[in-house]
Amino acid sequence: MLSEVLLVSAPGKVILHGEHAVVHGKVALAVALNLRTFLRLEPHSNGKVDLSLPNIGIKRAWDVAGLQSLDTSFLEQGDVTTPTPEQVEKLKDVAGLPDDCAVTERLAVLAFLYLYLSICQKQRWTREDLELINKWAFQGERVIHGNPSGVDNAVSTWGGALRYHQGKISSLKRSPALQILLTNTKVPRNTRALVAGVRNRLLKFPEIVAPLLTSIDAISLECERVLGEMGEAPAPEQYLVLEELIDMNQHHLNALGVGHASLDQLCQVTRARGLHSKLTGAGGGGCGITLLKPGLEQPEVEATKQALTSCGFDCLETSIGAPGVSIHSATSLDSRVQQALDGL
């Protein structure tokens, strides 16, 4: 039973290297992004469970007694189970969402209800607890995505950097935290179409595209090696290698046909300031990352952010290699985070 306010956060995720090549059996590196989602659990005595997701405009409440009356035979203690279509349909009835509710909002509420009914929250997390969190987060991903890779939930749980290869996920042991700019070009993309485009190009030009995929694989492996050597005391020459890998990977992704004029513009703006950028994710627009070297003066960073904003992009300064899911005390939170939580 929760007796006091519990504050929890989890990082986001970006792909550092290996986009698209991972679909064809190559290595990808995913890193935890220190733009965090915060959760505040607060006990109430009104007999209701209240859910507030301000970023997507969700505010719902359910009677605890009504939730407890559901058929929860699938909720074996400590047993992580995949939600069945019948259970999801039952949750839709419980959710009570209007027919015109957006798909993202509907899936978020269904994932919350499924996990709420399935998990007993703990205040202290052992490694076994984290493994359980990761497994349940994967089931939440299944509610939303159907057949996820498992990378998103693993990165958010464990943090740092992960290696993904042919369905196997492993943590990089000594991944440093790296400062980056995350830039959203605000150009929408169709991931499925982009993945299909690479596949078609591979079928059409196998002797050209297959070596590109092999080269992207080598870039991921070299980056993994360098990150492992950087540890707690990275050297300037190691950052130079990371910058070269970023440039090479971006050129390879353009050759695969997943670039976009907006991403080219992003790279040009940062290159003019001595910085190195690449797309992250599916490409075709979307987001890009820019590596910030140690010693870069803050006015230079701000000028770069302003230049990117002037292009119509959204730009955030953050870090990768962030901690995974974490419990916080209220006094440890950034004032802006605290203000946002207080406004719920």
Q: What CATH number did the domain enclosing 232 receive?
A: 3.30.70.890
DSSP letters spanning 262-276: HHHHHHHHHHTTT-E
> Can you give the pLDDT at residue 105?
85
86 and 235 in a single domain? The answer is no
Same domain for 242 and 284: yes
Please report whether residue 127 resides in a domain: yes
In this structure, is the dihedral angle defined by the CA atoms of residues 115, 117, 120 and 123, taken in order, positive or negative?
A: positive
Question: Do 21 and 167 reside in the same domain of the chain?
Answer: yes
H helices within the chain, ranges in order? 64-68, 85-95, 103-116, 127-145, 151-158, 191-204, 206-230, 236-255, 261-271, 298-310, 335-342
From the list 154, 122, 127, the residue with the least C-alpha distance to 141 is 154
* Residue (of 155, 211, 154, 184) closest to 290 by Cα position: 184
pLDDT below 70 — which residues of the chain?
1-4, 68-81, 118-125, 145, 232, 330-332, 343-344
Distance between CA atoms of residues 134 and 80, nearest Å: 10
Q: How far apart are CA 238 and CA 293, in angstroms?
A: 10
First to last CA, the chain: 22
**Is residue 1 in some structural domain?**
no
Question: What integer pLDDT is reported at residue 251 of this predicted model?
Answer: 98
In a domain, residue 79? The reply is: yes
305 and 184 in a single domain? The answer is yes
162, 205: one domain? no
pLDDT of residue 344: 60
Is 113 a member of any domain? yes
Q: What is the pLDDT of residue 340?
A: 73
- How many structural domains compose the chain? 2
Distance in angstroms (rounded) separating the CA atoms of residues 129 and 170: 18
- Within this chain, do residues 287 and 339 fall inside the same structural domain, yes or no? no
Model pLDDT, residue 343: 67
Candidates 152, 217, 264, 342; catalytic one: 152
Class of residue 155 by CB neighbours under 10 A (exposed 0-12, middle 13-18, buried 19+) = buried
The confidence score (pLDDT) of residue 123 equals 45
What is the reported pLDDT for 207? 98
Answer yes or no: 152 catalytic.
Answer: yes
Q: How far apart are CA 110 and CA 118, in angstroms?
A: 12
Output the pLDDT for position 170: 92
Q: Same domain, yes or no, for 166 and 223?
A: no
Q: Do 181 and 246 form a contact (C-beta atoms < 8 A)? A: no
171/156 Cα distance (integer angstroms): 12
Residue 25 and residue 155 in one domain? yes
DSSP string spanning 216-256? HHHHHHHHHHHHHHHTTS--HHHHHHHHHHHHHHHHHHHHT
Do 210 and 313 sit in the same domain of this protein? yes
Query: Is 291 found in the same domain as 169?
Result: no
- Give residue 68's pLDDT: 66
Write the CATH number for 102. 3.30.230.10
Q: What is the pLDDT of residues 231-258, one digit of tens each?
A: 767 899 999 999 999 999 999 999 999 9
Q: What is the dihedral of CA 165, 166, 171, 174, to 10 degrees?
A: -10
User: Is 337 among the domain residues?
Assistant: yes
Query: Tokens for 146?
Result: 């159907």
Q: Based on the domain organization, do 76 and 163 belong to the same domain?
A: yes
Both 184 and 167 in one domain: the answer is no
| Domain range enclosing 44 | 6-173+329-343
Please answer whether residues 194 and 258 qualify as being in contact, where contact means their C-beta atoms are separated by less than 8 angstroms: yes
